[in-house]
Amino acid sequence: MSQYYENQTFLISRTDAIGDVVLTLPVAGWLKDQIPGAKVVFLGRTYTEAIILSCPDVDVFLNWDELKNKPVTEQTALLRQQQINVAIHVFPNKTIANLVKKAGIKQRIGTRNRWFHLFTCNTLVALSRRHSPLHEAQLNLELLRPLGLQQMSSVKELGTYLHLQPANSLTPEQETWLRPQLPHIILHPKSQGSAREWGLDHFGQLARLLYQRGYQVFITGTAKEQSIMQDWLQENKKFITDITGKLSLPQFLSFIKACDGLVAASTGPLHLSAAMGIHALGLFPPIRPIHPGRWHPLGTQAEVLVLNKNCNACRHQPANCQCIQQISVIQVLEQIEKWQLLHQA
């Protein structure tokens, strides 16, 4: 059936966070791989623009933050200009769904459990994310069933549809941050509230142990997170290179690619590092739906640590999640040490 769509243009609509967008990019990869001559237009936001533009499977980026402020007639004209044949609403948005219909896009794919899709989409897929056992990227690909997707890829195979390559090189100043002959590890302690966090005490202990073993340890985060971590950064300044708040997102992508590995909770930087092929270690709680079965990073060097137990005791205590804090510093250190052994083999 996918041959029916040869040389057509597809709109992927996903206007939320970094990790969600990264795990949507396999949709673009599948379209390019399975449909000859497919053109992919991605509707995203300023926040994720650098990521989407770093994906070679995306031909055109449309910025919803800019588009939503224009008159409706101009919005529809801009969509029609792209000559889109099929729209795929990966992230449901009532305003966007109405706009796509007004623009006259012939096939509009959405989920049955969103009531507004009953009036705005003409191809509905039975899909409920809340209780599904599928990975987030698999759930995204389920929307391709009407386009010919028959066999769902495994989580490991999904990585073959995910391509991310930074558009820029490091600046000369950024290159000087990297000490030669040392393995470079990024620790990303905070999550902007999007994930259960391992805690600054754990990351501090890990930074000291890595420093003692000859690693250069970078701490990354936003300028706001730098303010939150200010005392902790000062306490650990001997063991770390603090680059929080110093990089734009395009620069951060390039810097991740220049390093050997990254450790973080289930955040955007974890998914970015995995997608770019460096070692990525995610720290997760064993709680549905935020467990690694749903959010495991995609990539050949992606790994996770999670307690092997069924636990709901701290489901409503995100700020003090014992399930993730019981992952030991030694466990994480041993996993990083294995990376070095692999490189030396």
CATH number at residue 103: 3.40.50.2000
Q: Is residue 341 over pLDDT 70? A: no
Q: Are residues 179 and 283 in the same domain?
A: yes
Give me the mean pLDDT over the 320-328 stretch: 83
Q: Is residue 319 over pLDDT 90? A: no
Beta-carbon contacts of residue 176 (< 8 Å; ≥ 6 apart)? none
The answer to whether 280 and 303 are in contact (CB under 8 A) is: yes
Q: Is residue 93 over pLDDT 90? A: yes
User: What confidence category does residue 308 fall into, taking pLDDT thresholds of 50, 70 and 90?
Assistant: confident
pLDDT tens digits, one per residue of 205-261: 999 999 999 999 999 999 999 999 999 999 999 999 999 999 999 999 999 999 999
Q: Are residues 118 and 225 in the same domain?
A: no
pLDDT at 2: 66
Q: Phi and psi of 332, rounded to 5°?
A: -65, -45
Final residue of a structural domain among 119, 152, 185:
152
Q: Is residue 325 over pLDDT 60? A: yes
Q: Show the domain range for 46.
A: 2-152
Final residue of a structural domain among 88, 118, 152:
152
pLDDT at 168: 87
pLDDT tens digits, one per residue of 161-174: 999 999 888 999 99
- ∠ Cα 305 309 311 (to 5°): 105
In a domain, 207, yes or no: yes
In a domain, 164, yes or no: no
Two tokens at 137? Answer: 């990227």
Cα distance between residue 144 and residue 160, in whole Å: 16
Q: Phi and psi of 169, rounded to 5°?
A: -95, 170
Mean pLDDT score across all residues of the chain: 93
Q: Are residues 148 and 176 in the same domain?
A: no
